[in-house]
Structure 1
Amino acid sequence: MKNLILLLFCSTYLATAQDVAVLKYDGGGDWYSNPTALPNLVSYCNEEIGTTLSTDVATVEANSIDIFQYPFIHMTGHGNVVFSEDDLSNLKNYLLSGGFLHIDDNYGMKPYLEKELLKLFPNKKLIELPANHEIFNNHAQFPLGLPKIHEHDGERPQALGIFHEGRLVLLFTFEADLGDGWESPEVHNDPPAVRKKALDMGANIIKYVFTN
């Protein structure tokens, strides 16, 4: 079964090797928040790091076979997150077969998310990535690690990861709110330097996913 899933992932990856998607989830959290964020990041990456990502960003559900078409899936929101057993099984197969999930806390989803990640990977823990990790040092250099974009509770920004066989399969960014920085300038009125910092970090994530 695992080999079949891997074969499916590889075939769909080759068909749409540079598409990205937003993850829709249950529980009442606003998975649809920051609607301009990922399309803006895609455009930035196409201009700055030479990707050929589609700006027509798809929406996928965790229990759908469609997730295997997208090497990179982005998830965000403010509130509750609930994964069904089918969601967990499909999402786990996706990640172990080569997929990558970036979860950006838009404020308030961390306590709900952590419970679901324990169900997804009961034998794995979120590990904070050190500042010398490649994800902070490819397109742009972030010598202090994950940049702070919006204050939230004033805590330090953290990039937490789950690894499988040495590969980073899931990235959870917390107290940074990269997605707000990716949104169109008029949404949050962030200074250009702050917005560029967020987009550069996003480009680092995209470059890491598509070159590893």
Structure 2
Amino acid sequence: MIVRLSPRNMLLGLTTVIVLCSGVAMAQRGWWRDGPSTDRNGVPDWEIDEEFPSDMFTFVRIKYDSYGGRGRRGGSWRTDHRDSDLNFSLRLQQLTTLKVNPEPIVLELTDEELFDYPFIYIIEPGSLVFSEAEVNALRRYCLNGGFLMVDDFWGDSQYENLRWELQRVFPDRTPKEVPLSHEIFHNVYDLKEKPQVPAINSARRGYNGSIGTFERTRDGSDTSTPHYRAIYDDADRIMVFICHNTDLGDGWEREGEDQWYFEEFSVKKAYPMGINIVTYAMTH
């Protein structure tokens, strides 16, 4: 049975965790590094069962060669790496019954190890271009039961780029808007709206109490509405989940830099949506 939790209960749980950690920095500096890194940037570690090393969830970020945007810290696959992945793995371990690997990893789509992991994550796909080898590998991965989450891209032109690339992967399948009634929005955290998370520098509060949740784009398109689209397999399982006009990864990475941002976006939106997505991926 999956228990549904509220963002309020999550806030209480995370607040308790932070107090118990006595001010340990939960990885908020956010500078990405080239190549492998063992630096946890203040994120607590935990032990895993050495007898069952593969019996746990591992957060897998996909590295791609094409240059994917000109955002903060260079954009492309490195954005928010590696603090986002560490923080999310920590919270998934703390807030669910999943056994989670404390060490997230980075793989290429053509890596032979890809099929060892049921969940993969691509960030900032606004200008990525898959190679033919990547197209074939991603198609095989998804049709054989894998789950791809795509995150952190804004506006019509960036979506059109991703749509074009995914059409190369799945010529006979089109992304469809996922209704709020779908279980992916309710399986652990019962979300009342599709969450929109801006980068921390784009989040804003109005004097009238309003909250700015969207980022502006160079193409001037409307980004005020978040879109969650999916590509399904023949059994109606989501195999590609597209988080457009939102940046869940920044809600994970930047959770400790500002208390208001943490409470408004990390607790209420980024972590609940992320946990729901992984729960769906691991149970379907």
Could you say which TM-score interval applies, normalised by the shorter chain? 0.7 to 0.9
Give CA-to-partner distance per residue, 1:111-131, whole Å, 9 cap, x none. 321211010001100001000
Give CA-to-partner distance per residue, 1:116-166, whole Å, 9 cap, x none. 10100011000010001010001111122x201111134211110000011
Please name the residue that 1:24 is paired with: 63
1:187 offset after TM fit, Å? 5.2
Structure having the larger proportion of residues in strand: 1
Structure 1 or 2, whichever has the larger Rg, is 2
Which range is displaced more, 87-96 or 153-162? 153-162
Return the match for 1:161 from 230, 233, 240: 230
1:39 offset after TM fit, Å? 1.8
CA distance in 1, matches of 2:256, 2:58: 26
1:211 offset after TM fit, Å? 1.6
Are 1:106 and 1:180, in contact at CA under 8 Å, matched by a contact in 2? no
Structure having the larger proportion of residues in helix: 1
Are 1:17 and 1:70, in contact at CA under 8 Å, matched by a contact in 2? no
SS in 1 for 2:80: coil
Letter aligned with residue 270 of structure 2 = A
Q: Identify if the C-alpha distance between structure 1 residues 81 and 47 changes in structure 2 by more than 3 Å, giving closer, same or farther.
A: same
Are 1:102 and 1:170, in contact at CA under 8 Å, matched by a contact in 2? yes
Percent identical among aligned pairs is: 29
Hey, which bits of structure 1, 4+ residues long, moved more than 4 A?
186-189
**Alignment of structure 1 residues 83-162 onto 2, 5 Å:** 83-107=130-154, 109-144=158-193, 146-150=194-198, 151-153=214-216, 154-162=223-231
Aligned pairs, number: 198
Unmatched 5+ residue regions in structure 1?
1-13
1:27 offset after TM fit, Å? 1.6
Give CA-to-partner distance per residue, 1:152-187, whole Å, 9 cap, x none. 134211110000011110000011211111113245
Give CA-to-partner distance per residue, 1:23-65, whole Å, 9 cap, x none. 1112211111011112211111111111111121110111222
CA distance in 1, matches of 2:117, 2:172: 25
SS in 1 for 2:114: helix
Please name the residue that 2:281 is paired with: 209
Please name the residue that 1:8 is paired with: none
Return the TM-score normalized by structure 2: 0.65
SS in 2 for 1:142: coil
Unmatched 5+ residue regions in structure 2?
1-52, 69-75, 199-213, 217-222
1:193 offset after TM fit, Å? 2.9
CA distance in 1, matches of 2:258, 2:168: 34
SS in 1 for 2:77: coil
Please name the residue that 1:171 is paired with: 241
CA distance in 2, matches of 1:127, 1:160: 5
Q: Identify if the C-alpha distance between structure 1 residues 84 and 188 changes in structure 2 by more than 3 Å, giving closer, same or farther.
A: farther
CA distance in 2, matches of 1:61, 1:178: 21
Q: Identify if the C-alpha distance between structure 1 residues 46 and 121 changes in structure 2 by more than 3 Å, giving closer, same or farther.
A: same
